[in-house]
Structure 1
Amino acid sequence: MSGTSEGPTPTADLVPPATTDGPPKPPTHRGGGSAPGEPYRAAFDRAPLAMAAIGPDGTVITANDAFRALFVPPAGPDGKPGTGPVGRPAADLVDLGSDARTRQGYQEVLRGQRARLRCSRRIKHPDGHAMWARITVSPLPDPAGPAAALLSVSDISARRELQARLRHLQMHDPVTRLPNRTLFFERLSGALETSSFDDTGTGRIGLCYLDLDGFKAVNDTLGHRIGDRLLAAVAERLTRCADEAGSARATTPLAARLGGDEFALLVEDSTGTEQLADLAGTLLRTLQEPFDIAGQRLSLSASIGVVERHAAGTTATGLMQAADTTLYWAKADGKARWTLFDPERNAHRMTRQALASSLRPALEREEFVLEYQPLVELGDGTLRGVEALVRWEHPQFGTLTPNRFIGLAEEDGSIVQLGRWVLRTACRQARRWQLDHPGAEPVFVSVNVAVRQVWDSDLVADVDAILAETGLDARLLQLELTESAVMGSAGRPLQALQALSDMGVRIAIDDFGTGYSNLAYLSRLPVSTLKLDGSFVRGFRYEDGAHPNPADEVIVETLIQLAHRLGLTVTAECVETAGQAERLRRIGCDTGQGWLYSRPVAPDRIPPLLVTRPVRPPDRAA
């Protein structure tokens, strides 16, 4: 019988020296291979455990019947028996030289430097079948005798078969019979390690991570039994796609069920994004074909996140995070599609997460500042007010404008704390300008208010307390709310707006014209100002010698007239040219705001405008 390295990598246990360790030893002997006592020899020969005595040079000195049965080949055509194990190197018989660690441990046992060597080997029986054997080599106590060690071989095939079955059950999904999450990550980690250091492959790895669209509805309406059968049918199609994709390549993609209705196809040694895109497209087309389950025709689709990259420097966690993010994009983009991982899009998402997690600490670290943009009377250029615009001086990303973080603040509720800080800072600054320039006409400060500030805090109490704290007259404070936030207001928001108006605070609707544009609501709201969205004003601009769209001017003029009939003033945003300002003035717009007059500036840039009136825009072409 000969040893072979077929099967899993052999393992060896090297046990430190111990005089009492090891199995029972046959009596040592000094010559001829015969034991000195017949009873002991008979027990050795007839023992069911295959045993052999090994000399210092590693050859078999004597062996019992069980050992000879394993290693004596059948008689040849001439009827002569095959060569027995005696006199042959034991290491060759049981494959003890296939790896360096086992080979070294075996030599140490022969020299008496180790108490025991244990290893498992898959060896071939003389009758042709293979078996798993547990090999044990222990030194014999009499160094002067010809036998240096005792070798025993026990059949562990049944145990290995049971272990293999248990591992298969542990590593495979019972519903689809696909590899499960545990086996998938084991293969993924191994593939990343191999691809990173093996020069024979492409050094790349790809992953299609898919989720079934609408599977929950099938489960909820038809029951889990039908749902499980549908999952099994999906698994069959995924396996077929993987087999077809691997038919012309050295490796076949691994299809696995990661849990629920989530599956993955792992492509080792991928050749690039084109290969993964082709596979993802095939998966989509295959899954979109109807399924016949228990007499019912079911249709579903899938969303697939596709990632393909160099294996070097990639971790299993990093790859799965990228795949999960890309799967989310595929669903957000409309489902029933595949989406390729985009590093730039991911960087934006990561930035968004980083900003969201640092919003509240940024308030405590006082990383926010206010800039102010003038609101100018279109008739005579007089400065009427300023709009306070918050900026985030982020230590990593630099100065951020509100569109980068206000939405995040509204999502996590920190907008209430941030809004309160903006309101207090703006009122304090407006009062400071008033005190520093008592001879100048006071200007109002306009502060943006998110609708969540109205719902999640006592805005009326906050405004009242801040006005009292700063000493600013309520008539010099304007609060801006978006059109969609105030249209249809009822209950608490309407009560808050009315209470603020009763205090003397101005209420303005920001970005008017982008939402409902229902002027009928304005008669029921305590609003004093409409701020026309910049999209209207941009239509007034001459570009490349062409005249602006006359319809824009008619719409704006009509809005202004209706607002004036309701007793409201109108502010035009995004005024960039003198021509725009002139046309807005001609059709009756009250105030303008935009780069024609000034960009948002630091507080110390406003005082010169208070004492130099009218505000004269820089020379620009209309």
Structure 2
Amino acid sequence: MLETLMMIALLAVMVTITYFIARKVIFEIKSAKDEKSLLIDGILTRSDINSVITSYITRIAKGTTFSLIYIDLDKFGDLSEAFGEKESKNILENIAKRIKKLLPTSAKIARYTGDEFLIFLNNQYSQKQVTEYGYKILYELRNKTKVAGGTEIDLTASVAVCYYPMHGNSLKNLMDSLKIAIYQAKKNGGNSLKIYSEELKDQEESIEYYYQIKHAIERHEFQLYYQPMIDYTNKKIYGYEALLRWNHPTLGVLGPDKFINIMEQTGDIHWVGRWGIESIIKTSYELRGIHSMYDDVKISINLSPKQLLSETIASDFAKAVKKLKGNPKNIILEVGEFALFEKQEQIFENLVKLSEVGFSIAVDGFSIDLATINRLSRINMDMIKMRQKTITENETNGKYLELLLNYVKTNGKLVVAEGVEALDEVKKIAKLGVELFQGYYFGTPMPFIELQDYTDKFMEKFGNLN
């Protein structure tokens, strides 16, 4: 009996060892494939430059210094989507050659990740010289970049500089310092150079999220969830609000409160807008295959003030619609807390342009007054979204609500009551003339894969709402 137990224990150990060896082999194979995909003629790979730096650290005498320059191309993901993988690699090869020409022959340069480069400069070069090289690279990349067919594009970079041993006594510590500096450069809008300093270290959690977000975009970890908007009068699904979620590999599904501020700071929020528009156009096509009531379905998506300050938002969204042959009238662009920032002229102009493209515009009814309503008519606003509590709390004196509902009725606009959680709330608000509802009573935000089942259950349930 004892021998049997010992044999089982030994077998369990062997299986465990085999499992971890297999995992290590798989990881090494994947790493090798990843490394191969990053190869550019004439420059080092990530593992090559890591070896150079770690070896140099072990050999140099105490007091010896050296420097690293890190280059992270701004919004390169947009170019990859526009030009494709093959042309993107050609662009990167062109950039690598241009950077290399600016550097001394003893400098080592590597493509470190997809659109990022690392440069190693040994102790021959002073901090001043290294900073000058960083600025040369920054200014060079501000020049036009040629792509296939002779087209020229604007491309900029964020550049970070750190010094050994002042900013780290190991490769890992130095890379951490560079990541912090790059994050700060991105946060300030990119197209700039940042030298690491200890003062930057206070935001390490945000910096870690920045790099996770960057990789999440590359790995398609972001997803839209859909919450239904219900036409209570006509007993049908009017549309859905698309809500951004992050399928984090270790933390699970994260809401925007965990990452949206960082995306706003680094500019990734503009990618969210373009990707979001394309995603909901594709969703609208797929919904038509589920049920006939989706033939003219509306899908809304939220816009932030940062997005609305972009001078190219209207043209970017128009290109996305044209590319996928979508109908902009069925896309509702939601503007939260409109009354708090509608006096920003750039935002107002962009809303006018988006309306002219054909998009429907929805605004949050919070704090809207008579003056704001007059401004709304200029952007051809289509919808006001109001929280259930705002409606019911104003029911007694009725002045604010009456003003808003009269404006809506007179001008052929729509009101959506948000946050409804019970049937009695729905009936109470419906008596005031509100027809559209959104809230947990009708459905929670859900991934697209669940919409078929939701539609079937809705059709069974909705007939009993009266």
TM-score, normalisation: structure 1: 0.39
Asked if 1:571 is matched to 2:408, the reply is no
Aligned mates of 1:533, 1:351 — CA distance in 2: 33
- Partner of residue 513, structure 1: 366
| Structure 1, unaligned runs of 5 or more | 1-347, 541-548
Cα-to-partner distance string for 1:80-125 (whole Å, 9 max, x where unaligned): xxxxxxxxxxxxxxxxxxxxxxxxxxxxxxxxxxxxxxxxxxxxxx
Task: Tell me the amino acid that sits aligned with residue 589 of structure 1.
Answer: V
SS of 1:441 mapped into structure 2: helix
Q: CA shift at 1:403, angstroms? A: 1.9
Q: CA shift at 1:391, angstroms? A: 0.4
Q: CA shift at 1:457, angstroms? A: 5.2
Aligned mates of 1:615, 1:526 — CA distance in 2: 36
- Partner of residue 376, structure 2: 522
Task: Tell me the amino acid that sits aligned with residue 326 of structure 2.
Answer: L
Q: CA shift at 1:465, angstroms? A: 1.7
Structure 1's 506 and 440: CA in aligned 2 closer, same or farther, altered over 3 A?
A: closer
Task: Tell me the amino acid that sits aligned with residue 388 of structure 1.
Answer: A
Q: How does 1:383-402 map to 2 (within 5 A)?
A: 383-402=237-256
Q: How does 1:383-422 map to 2 (within 5 A)?
A: 383-422=237-276
- Partner of residue 433, structure 1: 287
Native 8 Å contact 1:381 1:615 kept in 2: no
- Partner of residue 105, structure 1: none
Asked if 1:584 is matched to 2:429, the reply is yes
Task: Tell me the amino acid that sits aligned with residue 308 of structure 2.
Answer: V
Q: How does 1:52-91 map to 2 (within 5 A)?
A: none
Q: How does 1:107-186 map to 2 (within 5 A)?
A: none
Aligned mates of 1:409, 1:441 — CA distance in 2: 34
Task: Tell me the amino acid that sits aligned with residue 231 of structure 2.
Answer: E
Cα-to-partner distance string for 1:491-511 (whole Å, 9 max, x where unaligned): 44333322322232100113x
Asked if 1:598 is matched to 2:452, the reply is no
- Partner of residue 471, structure 1: 325
- Partner of residue 495, structure 1: 349
Task: Tell me the amino acid that sits aligned with residue 336 of structure 2.
Answer: T
- Partner of residue 223, structure 2: 369
Asked if 1:424 is matched to 2:269, the reply is no
Native 8 Å contact 2:332 2:359 kept in 1: yes
SS of 1:598 mapped into structure 2: coil
Structure 1's 436 and 593: CA in aligned 2 closer, same or farther, altered over 3 A?
A: closer
Q: CA shift at 1:592, angstroms? A: 0.5
Q: How does 1:511-550 map to 2 (within 5 A)?
A: 512-514=365-367, 518-536=372-390, 539=392, 550=395
Q: CA shift at 1:525, angstroms? A: 2.3
SS of 2:377 mapped into structure 1: helix
Native 8 Å contact 2:408 2:414 kept in 1: yes
Task: Tell me the amino acid that sits aligned with residue 325 of structure 2.
Answer: G
Asked if 1:561 is matched to 2:406, the reply is yes
Aligned mates of 1:494, 1:436 — CA distance in 2: 37
Structure 1's 440 and 370: CA in aligned 2 closer, same or farther, altered over 3 A?
A: closer
Q: More deviation in 380-389 or 550-559?
A: 550-559
Q: How many residues align?
A: 265
- Partner of residue 286, structure 1: none
Native 8 Å contact 1:375 1:386 kept in 2: yes
Candidates 212, 215, 220, aligned match of 1:358:
212
Aligned mates of 1:479, 1:403 — CA distance in 2: 19
SS of 1:356 mapped into structure 2: helix
Structure 1's 381 and 557: CA in aligned 2 closer, same or farther, altered over 3 A?
A: farther
Structure 1's 485 and 430: CA in aligned 2 closer, same or farther, altered over 3 A?
A: farther
- Partner of residue 208, structure 1: none
Asked if 1:442 is matched to 2:281, the reply is no
Native 8 Å contact 1:385 1:443 kept in 2: yes
Native 8 Å contact 2:287 2:294 kept in 1: no
Q: Considering only aligned residues, what root-mean-square deviation do their CA atoms show, in Å?
A: 3.3
Native 8 Å contact 2:239 2:298 kept in 1: yes
- Partner of residue 234, structure 2: 380
Native 8 Å contact 2:236 2:293 kept in 1: no
Native 8 Å contact 2:247 2:253 kept in 1: yes
Task: Tell me the amino acid that sits aligned with residue 449 of structure 1.
Answer: L
- Partner of residue 335, structure 2: 481
Task: Tell me the amino acid that sits aligned with residue 465 of structure 1.
Answer: K
Structure 1's 438 and 520: CA in aligned 2 closer, same or farther, altered over 3 A?
A: closer
Cα-to-partner distance string for 1:346-382 (whole Å, 9 max, x where unaligned): xx97654432342222211211111101101122321
Aligned mates of 2:339, 2:259 — CA distance in 1: 18
Q: CA shift at 1:474, angstroms? A: 1.7
SS of 1:616 mapped into structure 2: helix
Task: Tell me the amino acid that sits aligned with residue 428 of structure 2.
Answer: R
SS of 2:243 mapped into structure 1: strand
SS of 1:410 mapped into structure 2: helix
Structure 1's 504 and 451: CA in aligned 2 closer, same or farther, altered over 3 A?
A: same
Q: CA shift at 1:596, angstroms? A: 0.6
Native 8 Å contact 2:223 2:247 kept in 1: yes
Aligned mates of 2:341, 2:410 — CA distance in 1: 19
Q: CA shift at 1:472, angstroms? A: 1.9
Cα-to-partner distance string for 1:287-325 (whole Å, 9 max, x where unaligned): xxxxxxxxxxxxxxxxxxxxxxxxxxxxxxxxxxxxxxx
Structure 1's 552 and 414: CA in aligned 2 closer, same or farther, altered over 3 A?
A: farther
Q: CA shift at 1:533, angstroms? A: 3.0
Task: Tell me the amino acid that sits aligned with residue 431 of structure 1.
Answer: Y
Q: Looking at CA atoms only, which structure, 1 or 2, has the larger radius of gyration? A: 1
Whichever structure has more helix as a proportion of its residues is: 2
Native 8 Å contact 1:609 1:615 kept in 2: no
Q: CA shift at 1:477, angstroms? A: 0.8
Native 8 Å contact 2:395 2:401 kept in 1: no
Cα-to-partner distance string for 1:543-579 (whole Å, 9 max, x where unaligned): xxxxxx8537664454322332343211111011101
Structure 1's 575 and 552: CA in aligned 2 closer, same or farther, altered over 3 A?
A: farther
Q: CA shift at 1:531, angstroms? A: 0.5
Cα-to-partner distance string for 1:146-166 (whole Å, 9 max, x where unaligned): xxxxxxxxxxxxxxxxxxxxx
- Partner of residue 108, structure 2: none
Aligned mates of 1:504, 1:456 — CA distance in 2: 18
Q: CA shift at 1:463, angstroms? A: 1.6
Structure 1's 388 and 374: CA in aligned 2 closer, same or farther, altered over 3 A?
A: same
Candidates 299, 307, 325, aligned match of 1:453:
307
Q: How does 1:249-268 map to 2 (within 5 A)?
A: none
Task: Tell me the amino acid that sits aligned with residue 551 of structure 1.
Answer: T
Native 8 Å contact 2:418 2:439 kept in 1: yes
Identity within the alignment, %:
23
Q: CA shift at 1:582, angstroms? A: 0.5
Structure 1's 492 and 349: CA in aligned 2 closer, same or farther, altered over 3 A?
A: closer
Aligned mates of 2:209, 2:352 — CA distance in 1: 35
Which structure has more relative contact order (CA 8 Å, sep 6+)? It is 2
Aligned mates of 1:563, 1:481 — CA distance in 2: 17
Q: How does 1:91-102 map to 2 (within 5 A)?
A: none
Cα-to-partner distance string for 1:160-197 (whole Å, 9 max, x where unaligned): xxxxxxxxxxxxxxxxxxxxxxxxxxxxxxxxxxxxxx
Q: How does 1:189-268 map to 2 (within 5 A)?
A: none
Native 8 Å contact 1:487 1:521 kept in 2: no
Q: CA shift at 1:519, angstroms? A: 2.1
